[in-house]
């Protein structure tokens, strides 16, 4: 049996006809950049997250940049981010010319540790960017209280957390602005590059719209420096269509995770992901820890099961940040995760037969040790 890590062909097979109709509409109307397709997606996504505004942009990385850039963050400023995340969280900071300051993750949630964030605050700290990693929200109340009484912005990186909840509210609705990615493999994925920002602020909404479109509100009149961070019309139209299925796909991911939770619990040598009491996890990734992870990955691969690593090198040990002076040992939880993590196959439509096969092979591997 083959078990891919993700299966976009399967996801799209039932939607292909409708997707092609949407694409045809865009071609017929020549609304290739922004336009009605993007506008209706923005409205639907804002409503489903429970915020006033959604601004479609060209990628999650660009959304990360815009979220900080719009607040005037620049050279000399520090922004605290988790050491355990995808590199694009850091690009949001470096593209502004500011300095990323890393914080460790919690042992149980794998999300940024508010206590370590507190330790990293200096007079230069301008923002904190928690990432709702793997599909589970960071502890937003604790992070908010770290910011209380200080002039520090809280900006969510919700790239992996579409429809994830914290105490009954959706990720992307907890901070002054939040960024999303619609990279194809995400829980809500485009058929190319796309991202978005969400916010309740009318002022920020206008600012984001202006910055994403060459610093311009009116064509050829440029109020500020800007960039071309616009969303394609085709991506907006396809995302609006796929958004209608996201609730079901989220439930399917949760069911798959439950299957793993039950079948793999109590096995010596495996640590399973923990859904925190405050969170509704959407399992963008199902990340386990295993000290024999290289051997496990090889064994699963030999049996037709694909796995992932999220992430093999934490940000503080990336070559591009060598000048910041971090070293091995600085972030014990993050490093333990990077050395032992394995992401198991999870996607809407993965069958019980496939899930059972993965679990059987993992058990077989552990027994053989
Ligand atoms: C946590 C996180 N932030 C930001 C991004 C960047 O998104 P994109 O690939 O759409 O630029 C990603 C995507 O992979 C991500 O996982």
Residue 16 alpha carbon to ligand 1 centre in Å: 25
Domain ranges of the chain: 8-243, 246-367
- pTM strictly above 0.85: yes
Q: Is the CB of 181 under 6 A from ligand 1?
A: yes
> Residue 40 has what pLDDT?
96
Sheet holding 165-166, edge to edge: 169-170, 165-166, 279-280
3-state secondary structure of 195: strand
Q: Is the CB of 183 under 6 A from ligand 1?
A: yes
Q: Is the CB of 86 under 6 A from ligand 1?
A: yes
Kindly state the percentage of the chain with pLDDT values over 70: 100
pLDDT digits (tens, 9 = 90+) for 182-204: 999 999 999 999 999 999 999 99
CA atoms lying within 13 Å on the CB side of residue 68: 35
> Residue 86 has what pLDDT?
98
> Residue 171 has what pLDDT?
98
Ligand 1: atom nearest CA of 183 is: 10
What's the average model confidence in pLDDT over 203-214? 98
Q: Which residues contact 263 (CB under 8 A, 6 or more apart)?
A: 355, 356, 359
Tell the residue nearest (CA) to atom 4 of ligand 1: 88
User: Which residue is associated with the tokens 């230069």?
Assistant: 124
pLDDT tier for residue 94 given thresholds of 50, 70 and 90 = very high
pLDDT digits (tens, 9 = 90+) for 152-184: 999 999 999 999 999 999 999 999 999 999 999
> Residue 205 has what pLDDT?
98
Q: How is residue 174 annotated by DSSP?
A: S
Pocket test for ligand 1, best of 183, 196, 232 (most atoms within 8 A of CB): 183
> Residue 59 has what pLDDT?
98
Dihedral angle sign, alpha carbons of residues 171, 172, 174, 178: positive
d(CA 5, CA 285): 10
What topology is assigned to 246-367 in CATH? 3.90.1150
pLDDT digits (tens, 9 = 90+) for 19-48: 999 999 999 999 999 999 999 999 999 999
> Residue 185 has what pLDDT?
98
Q: Which residues of 62-85 are buried (b: 16+ CB within 10 A; e: fewer)?
A: bbbbbbbbbbebeeebbbbbbbbb
Pocket test for ligand 1, best of 89, 181, 187, 193 (most atoms within 8 A of CB): 181
What's the average model confidence in pLDDT over 117-134? 98
CATH class of the domain defined by 8-243: alpha beta
């Amino acid at each position: 049996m083959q078990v891919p890590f993700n299966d976009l062909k399967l996801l799209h097979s039932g939607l292909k006809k409708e997707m092609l109709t949407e694409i045809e509409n865009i071609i017929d109307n020549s609304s290739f950049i922004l336009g009605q397709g993007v506008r209706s997606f923005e409205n639907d996504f804002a409503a489903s997250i429970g915020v006033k505004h959604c601004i479609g942009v060209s990628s999650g990385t660009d959304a990360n940049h815009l979220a900080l850039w719009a607040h005037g963050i620049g050279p000399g400023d520090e922004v605290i981010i988790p050491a355990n995340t995808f590199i694009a969280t850091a690009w949001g900071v470096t593209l502004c010319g500011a300095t990323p300051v890393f914080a460790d993750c919690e042992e149980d949630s794998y999300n940024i540790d508010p206590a370590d964030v507190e330790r990293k605050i200096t007079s230069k700290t301008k923002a904190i960017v928690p990432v709702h990693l793997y599909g589970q929200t960071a502890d937003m109340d604790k992070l908010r209280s770290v910011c209380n009484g200080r002039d520090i912005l809280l900006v969510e990186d919700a790239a992996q957390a579409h429809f994830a909840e914290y105490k009954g509210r959706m990720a992307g609705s907890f901070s002054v602005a939040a960024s999303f990615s619609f990279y194809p493999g995400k829980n809500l994925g485009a058929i190319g590059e796309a991202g978005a920002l969400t916010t309740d602020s009318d002022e920020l909404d206008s600012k984001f719209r202006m910055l994403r479109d060459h610093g311009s509100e009116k064509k050829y009149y440029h109020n500020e420096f800007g960039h071309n961070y616009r969303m394609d019309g085709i991506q907006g139209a396809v995302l609006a269509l796929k958004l209608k299925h996201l609730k079901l796909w989220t439930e399917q991911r949760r069911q798959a995770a439950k299957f793993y939770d039950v079948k793999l619990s109590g096995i010596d040598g495996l640590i399973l992901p923990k859904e925190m009491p405050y969170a509704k996890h959407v399992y963008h990734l199902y990340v386990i820890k295993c000290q024999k992870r290289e051997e496990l990955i090889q064994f699963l691969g030999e049996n037709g099961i694909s796995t992932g690593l999220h992430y093999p090198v934490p940000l503080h040990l990336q070559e591009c940040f060598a000048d910041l002076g971090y070293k091995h040992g600085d972030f014990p939880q993050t490093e333990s995760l990077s050395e032992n993590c394995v992401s198991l196959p999870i996607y809407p439509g993965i069958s019980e037969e496939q899930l059972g096969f993965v679990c059987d092979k993992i058990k077989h591997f552990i027994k053989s040790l």
